Amino acid sequence: MAVTGHALNQLLQQMDRTFSNVTGQSVSFIDQEGHYQGPLRLDVFTGFCRRAISSEKGTQHCLACNHSFGLDAEQRCTVSQCHMGISVISVPVPLPEARGLSLTYGQFLTRDTEEAFYSTLRRHCQELELDYDEMVALAGTLRVLSAEELDARMQMLQVFAGYVATSEAELETRREYARQVEKKLALERTLHASEFKFLQSQISPHFLFNTLNLLMRTAYREGAPQTADLICDLADLLRRAYYYKDSICTLAEEMQCARQYLTLQSQRLGPGFSFEVGDVSACGQLMIPVLTIQPLVENAILHGAGEDEHPLHVKVSATAEDGKLVISVSDNGAGIPEEVLEKLRDHQAGGSGVQNVTERLKLFFGPEAEVDIQSALGSGTRIVLTCPLKNRRKHKWPSTFLW
C-alpha cells in the first residue's frame, strides 16, 4: 500500500490524538535529517522540553538529537537519550517511498536513567545557559517509567509503525485490532475518574507508603493491633489504586477491595453501621474492570445514611450462572429521590460513580451489560450489575498498557 504525504499526515494525526488523550504527550514522525513530518504539537510537550527548546542553543541541540534518533532507529526499535538526558523511543517505519522515516515518542525518564539525568543536569543547564533551579522544578513533572511500562510503549509504537506500512490485504485485520486498542484506552481513561482524588497530589508514593508502614509497625509495638490492621487495609487500598498495571482484575480482588473499604468505614461510622460481603470462591477468578464495586459501595454509604439514626447495613454479593455474572450492592438506607433516580437511569447524572461503572462494563463486556437501579425513599437502594460472560474473550485485549 503506497502511503501518500497526505495520507501519512492523516494517520499521524489519528495516532497523535490517541496517544495525547491518554498520556498527555505526542508522537511524531522524524526523517533522517531530523525534521518533523506532519503536525508538531508543542502544546503537548513537557514543560521541561519546551523550556529547553525555547533557548537558542537548545533548539540547535534538539535538531541534532532528532537526526541521531532517526539514524539509531534505522534497523530496530531503540531507546536513546537526548542532549539533556531525556529518553526517547524511536521505531523505524518501513516505507519504500519514505526511507529513513522513524516514529518517535519521548520526553520521559526511566528508573535506570533517572539518577544519571539529575547528576548531569547542572552541567547541561550551564551549556545551554538555562536556569538550573527552574529546570529542576520542571524535571519533577517528567514521567519515570519502569521497565514494564517502557516495554509496553515500545510494543505499541512498533504496532503503529507496522500499521503505517501494512498491505491492503491486512488492513481490515489491523483496523479491528486498532478498534480494540481504542476500547482499551477508553477503559483506561474512565478508570482515572474513579481513582482516589488525593493521589493526584505531588506527594511521593514511596513517602506515603513508607509512612503508613511506619504507623502500622508503631501501632503493633504500642499494643494496638486493630489500629495496625486498619492502617494495613488503607495502605492496600491506596497501593492498589496507585500502582494499577491493568484496567482489569479478578472478581475476588475487587470483592477484597470492597471488604477493606467497608472495614475502614465501619470504624468511622461506629455501631450504627454493618456490612456483609458474600463468598465468591466459585467465580472469583472471573475478570472485571477494576473499581467496579467500590464506587457503588461508597455511594451506598454516602447517600444511604439519612438524617435519622436508623442503622445502615450494606450488602455486596456476586454469582455466576446461566452465562452471566451478576453483582449486587444493596443498602437499607434513605433511598434515592425519584428525579435523581431517573437521571441515573438515563445516564444524565454527570460524574456519578454509577455512570462511570456503566460505561466501563459496556466497554469490557459489550453492550449487553446492564446496570439496574432499584430504590425507594425510606426503603434503601439496590444496584444490580449483569454482565454476559459468553463474549468476554471474543477479542484478545493487550495484556498491559501502562500509561
Helix-strand-coil split of the chain, %, nearest 5? 50, 20, 30
Instruction: Please measure the distance between the N-terminal and C-terminal CA atoms of the chain and give it in whole angstroms.
Output: 31
The percent of residues in the chain predicted with pLDDT above 70, rounded, is 69
C-alpha span between 23 and 17 (Å, rounded): 10
74 SS3 class: coil
pLDDT of residue 176: 76
pLDDT of residue 403: 24
Residue 82 DSSP class? -
Tell me the longest C-alpha to C-alpha distance in the chain. Answer: 75
Residue 37 CB contacts under 8 Å (≥ 6 apart), including other chains: 8, 9, 12, 28, 29, 30, 31, 98, 101
pLDDT of residue 50: 86
Between residues 170 and 216, the one the model is more confident about? 216
Asked if 387 contacts 325 with a C-beta cutoff of 8 angstroms, the reply is yes
pLDDT digits (tens, 9 = 90+) for 118-153: 999 999 999 999 999 999 999 998 989 998 888 888
Which triple of cell numbers denotes residue 177? 485490532
Arithmetic mean of pLDDT, 310-321: 92
| Weakest mean pLDDT among 149-158, 235-244, 384-393 | 235-244
Q: What is the rounded (10 degree) CA torsion for 29, 147, 190, 19?
A: 0
pLDDT digits (tens, 9 = 90+) for 49-72: 888 888 888 888 877 776 565 555
pLDDT digits (tens, 9 = 90+) for 193-221: 555 444 444 455 655 666 666 777 777 77
C-alpha span between 208 and 203 (Å, rounded): 7
Asked if 93 contacts 161 with a C-beta cutoff of 8 angstroms, the reply is yes
C-alpha span between 398 and 13 (Å, rounded): 22
pLDDT of residue 271: 86
Arithmetic mean of pLDDT, 292-315: 82
> CA nearest 187: which of 334, 338, 401?
401
C-alpha span between 299 and 52 (Å, rounded): 46
Flag whether pLDDT at 296 surpasses 80: yes
C-alpha span between 62 and 68 (Å, rounded): 10
pLDDT of residue 386: 95
Confidence of residue 344 (pLDDT cuts 50, 70, 90): confident
Residue 225: CB atoms within 10 Å: 11
| Weakest mean pLDDT among 101-110, 238-247, 262-271 | 238-247
Which triple of cell numbers denotes residue 281? 470462591
pLDDT digits (tens, 9 = 90+) for 245-259: 457 889 999 999 888
Arithmetic mean of pLDDT, 80-89: 88
Which triple of cell numbers denotes residue 290? 477494576
Confidence of residue 402 (pLDDT cuts 50, 70, 90): very low
Which triple of cell numbers denotes residue 179? 478498534
Flag whether pLDDT at 398 surpasses 70: no
pLDDT of residue 120: 93
Confidence of residue 343 (pLDDT cuts 50, 70, 90): confident
Q: Sheet with 312-321: list strands edge to edge.
A: 273-277, 312-321, 324-331, 380-388, 370-376
Residue 272 CB contacts under 8 Å (≥ 6 apart), including other chains: 309, 311, 312
pLDDT of residue 191: 61
C-alpha span between 136 and 365 (Å, rounded): 45
Flag whether pLDDT at 168 surpasses 50: no
Q: Global pTM?
A: 0.46
